[in-house]
């Protein structure tokens, strides 16, 4: 009779899920008795849960019942600091791609991940989405060798990119000459299928673009952090870069 308000319905639903998750045998009569609702309402609630993706299965007839198939959802996922960072980077990339399924669910996850950071760092973290670009140009696929051998290099780049720290790299240029530089990794750019880093190059004291797969070695520059230079992308250096090739 009494109309349920939002809060109590959230509670009711959570209790229902709790009962279903405990791997007991439940009939709708049992459930409705525990939840103090009519059978009709219970069926509606179950339908609504199914509709939202919960794998609720039921058996009709004598000995039948309702149950939740398998272990669904994740109760508690422990994520290390690095894992959180990389996950956020991954989400930022998906977002940069105009991904049409960047739904509220993923937004919520992003928000949950933000909580891993202290207040003063969050602005930096939430800015990464704007530091990723997809170029209209694409590169011939043949030349690109995504390096799975260089996990440690990848991690170093990833970290210095996110934490805005300078990085020492050994780089092999297009004409195969090797050089050692200190760079500030400002922006990340995809010109499919090649990934680039738009950086400030301390060696030349100018903006430069580095193919990630041409970076052969990395060394962190301990505590030297840098501030973003929006002019690096305001100048559209990469478009110029590509059209000049």
Partner DNA sequence: TAATATATGCCACTTAATGACACATTAAAT
Partner DNA sequence: ATTTAATGTGTCATTAAGTGGCATATATTA
Which residues in this chain contact DNA in the complex, by CB under 7 A? 1-7, 9, 12, 26-29, 36-41, 43-47, 58-66
Peptide bond connecting 193 to the previous residue in cis, omega within 30 degrees of 0? yes
Residue pair 55/68 in contact by the 8 Å Cβ criterion: yes
When binding is defined by CB under 8 A, the residue of 141, 142, 149, 206 that contacts a copy of itself is 141
Which listed option, DNA, a copy of itself, none, makes contact with residue 122 (CB within 5 to 8 Å by class)?
a copy of itself
Distance CA 105, CA 32 (A): 30
When binding is defined by CB under 8 A, the residue of 60, 61, 62, 80 that contacts a copy of itself is 80
| Continuous segment of H or E residues that includes residue 95 | helix 81-96
The yes or no reply on residue 126 touching a copy of itself (CB under 8 A) is yes
**Residue 75 Cα to chain centre, angstroms:** 19
Phi/psi for 79 (5° steps) reads -125, 130
When binding is defined by CB under 8 A, the residue of 3, 81, 177, 227 that contacts a copy of itself is 81
Q: Please tell me the total number of residues recorded for the chain in this structure.
A: 245
Please, which of residues 87-106 interact with a copy of itself by CB under 8 A? Answer: 87, 89-91, 93-94, 97-106
Which listed option, a copy of itself, DNA, none, makes contact with residue 182 (CB within 5 to 8 Å by class)?
none
| Stretch binding a copy of itself (CB under 8 A), from 25-33, 152-160, 170-178, 228-236 | 152-160
When binding is defined by CB under 8 A, the residue of 75, 174, 175, 227 that contacts a copy of itself is 75
Distance CA 98, CA 92 (A): 10
Distance CA 122, CA 207 (A): 26
């Amino acid at each position: 009779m009494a109309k349920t308000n939002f809060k109590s319905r959230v509670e009711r639903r959570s209790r229902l899920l709790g009962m279903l998750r405990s791997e007991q045998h439940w009939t709708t009569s049992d459930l409705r008795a525990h939840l103090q609702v009519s059978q009709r309402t219970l069926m509606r609630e179950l339908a609504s849960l199914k509709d939202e993706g919960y794998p609720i299965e039921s058996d009709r007839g004598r000995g039948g019942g309702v149950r939740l198939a398998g272990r669904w959802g994740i109760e508690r996922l422990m994520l290390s600091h690095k894992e959180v960072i990389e996950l956020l980077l991954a989400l930022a990339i998906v977002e940069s791609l105009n991904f049409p399924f960047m739904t509220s669910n993923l937004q919520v996850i992003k928000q949950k991940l933000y909580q891993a950071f202290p207040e003063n760092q969050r602005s930096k973290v939430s800015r990464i989405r704007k530091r990723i670009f997809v170029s209209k140009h694409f590169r011939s696929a043949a030349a690109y060798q995504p390096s799975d051998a260089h996990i440690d290099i990848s991690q170093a780049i990833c970290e210095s990119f996110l934490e805005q720290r300078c990085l020492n790299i050994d780089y092999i240029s297009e004409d195969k000459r090797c050089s050692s530089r200190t760079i500030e990794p400002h922006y990340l750019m995809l010109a499919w299928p090649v990934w680039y880093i738009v950086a400030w190059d301390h060696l030349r004291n100018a903006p430069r673009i580095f193919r990630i797969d041409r970076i052969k070695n990395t060394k962190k520059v301990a505590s030297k952090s840098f501030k973003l230079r929006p002019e690096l992308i305001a100048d559209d250096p990469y478009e110029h870069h590509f059209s000049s090739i």
